[in-house]
Amino acid sequence: MSDVLAVNAVDLTKTFGPLTAVDHISLQVAQGEVYGVLGPNGAGKTTLLRMLFGLIRPDGGTLELFGRSWPRNGVHALDGVAGFIESPKFYPGLSGRRNLQLLAGLDGLDGPSAATRVDEVLDAVDLLGRDRDKVRGYSFGMRQRLGVAAALLRAPRLLVLDEPANGLDPAGIRDMRALVKRLTGSGLTVLLSSHDMAEVEQICDDVTIMRTGQVVYHGSIAALREQAPAQAHRLATTDDERSMAAAHRMGLDVTGAADGGLAVRGSQAQVDALIAALVAAGIGLRGLALSETPLEALFFMLTESAPDAPTADLEPAATTGARR
């Protein structure tokens, strides 16, 4: 595999009036990598991807895809690149197959090779049975899958997916994640944006976390996991005041939850010991549940803290990844 980076963005900046949507972001994605761009809504993920596809122009910085850039190579910059931004859109009055046939024509495919290719990608996203239905009758999940099929038509080396599971029901999310995982298994480079830590954790090797246009973390998922806080539990008891005092005495991080009960953070052994102690003290246990995962907790810490809060305790990635 070539050493040329699939994505090499340096100091990218984009402003819309007074709003700096992307603020001096650098991002490197190696070929074959499965890379996540994570952040809450409004973090600048979609703006970053729009610049990647040339839909909007950066106000500063440079961006190369497989060594090609928009200013130097024009639309050739997109050779080998496919994907969708936000939810994929199609002509609603045409069937899914007809939409793909039109796009195949745009990709320079025609005749039997186009028909074969359309069949292949429809099969890959499991839409062959509904391919002759008009797109206006498709569910949101079917449109998302048609979007992946449209991207695969181009036989991409880099697949860019912007929130592919956004708006899907649980079954749709499961299917979409399974599809993306299958695609990543083929050696394809994938750049996936999401606001869902669990999704990125399941699919990606490396991640950049953004907040208000800036990078607050970049590096591997494994490194991020090591720096995550302990698992959090939601605890409901007959006497939260005494329970909180007991948790403090046992060295657990405990706070009162906004909607009642306690949020307790600590190792599984510590939480087990706390529960045993509460029961022994005659305090009734009314509820115990896992709350956000450690990585989700870290994600919320990173993206909900004050904009100038230091993130120095998080280690940067060595060779690939993003930096501010």
Partner 1 sequence: MTRASTGDLTAGPTTTAAGHGPRTGTRRPGTATVLRWEIAKLAAQSRARYLLLGCLLAPPVVVAVFAGQQPPSDTIYGRHIHASGFADALLILAFAHQWLFPLLAALVAGDIFANEDGHGTWKTILTRSVSRGQVFAAKTLTAVAFNLVVLVVLAASTIAGSLLIVGTQPLPGLSGQLIPAGTALPLVAAAWATAVPPLIGFTALALLLSVLSRNPTVGVATPVVLGFAMQLLSTLGGLDLARRLLLTTGFEAWHGLFTEHRFTGPIAQAAAVAAIWTAVCLVIGYLSLRRRDITGG
Compute the least distance from the CB of residue 146 to partner 1, in Å: 10
75/69 Cα distance (integer angstroms)? 9
Contact 180, 190 (CB under 8 A): yes
For 38-77, letters b (16+ CB in 10 Å) and e give: bbeeebbbbbbbbbbbbebebeebebbbbebebeeeeeeb
Closest approach, Cβ 206 to partner 1, in A, equals: 20
CA distance 188 to 191: 10
Smallest distance from partner 1 to CB 182, Å: 5
Can you tell me which of 150, 283, 295, 322 binds partner 1, judged by CB under 8 A? 150
Using CB under 8 A as the binding rule, whether residue 120 contacts partner 1 is answered as: yes
Rounded-to-10 torsion of CA 193, 151, 12, 64: 130
Task: Give the residue, chosen from 18, 106, 111, 318, that forms a contact with partner 1 under the rule CB under 8 A.
Answer: 106
**Please, where are the H alpha helices in 83-226?**
96-106, 111-124, 140-152, 170-184, 197-203, 221-226
Count interface residues toward partner 1 (CB under 8 A): 65
Q: Does 59 bind partner 1 (CB under 8 A)?
A: no
Residue of the chain from 12, 183, 200, 302 that contacts partner 1 (CB under 8 A): 183
Tell me the closest approach of the beta carbon of residue 215 to partner 1, in angstroms: 22
Rounded CA-CA distance 5/31 in Å is 6
Q: Of residues 17, 18, 41, 75, which one binds partner 1 by CB under 8 A?
A: 75
Amino acid present at 312 = A
Contact 84, 161 (CB under 8 A): yes
111 lines the binding site for partner 1 (CB under 8 A)? no
The whole-angstrom distance between residue 113's C-alpha and the CA centroid of its chain comes to 33
Nearer to partner 1, 178 or 290 (CB): 178
Q: Does 83 bind partner 1 (CB under 8 A)?
A: yes
Strands, DSSP E only, in the chain? 7-16, 19-29, 34-38, 60-65, 68-69, 81-84, 158-162, 189-194, 206-211, 214-220, 232-237, 253-256, 262-265, 285-290, 321-323
- Considering only 60, 71, 105, 256, the residue that binds partner 1 (CB under 8 A) is 105
Q: Toward partner 1, which CB reaches closer, 134 or 234?
A: 134
Q: Nearest approach, Cβ of 193 to partner 1 (angstroms)?
A: 14
Nearer to partner 1, 9 or 197 (CB): 9
* Binding flag, residue 154, partner 1 (CB under 8 A): yes
Residue 309 corresponds to which tokens in the numbers above? 């809060």
Which residues, listed in sequence order, are joined to residue 290 by a DSSP beta bridge?
233
Identify residues 9-48 at the interface with partner 1 (CB under 8 A): 31
96 touches partner 1 by CB under 8 A: no
The smaller minimum CB distance to partner 1, of residues 66 and 299, is found at 66
Binding residues (CB under 8 A) for partner 1: these are 2, 4, 31, 50, 53-57, 65-68, 73-76, 78-80, 82-86, 88-94, 98, 102-103, 105-109, 113, 120-121, 123-126, 145, 150, 152-157, 159, 175, 178-179, 182-183, 185-188
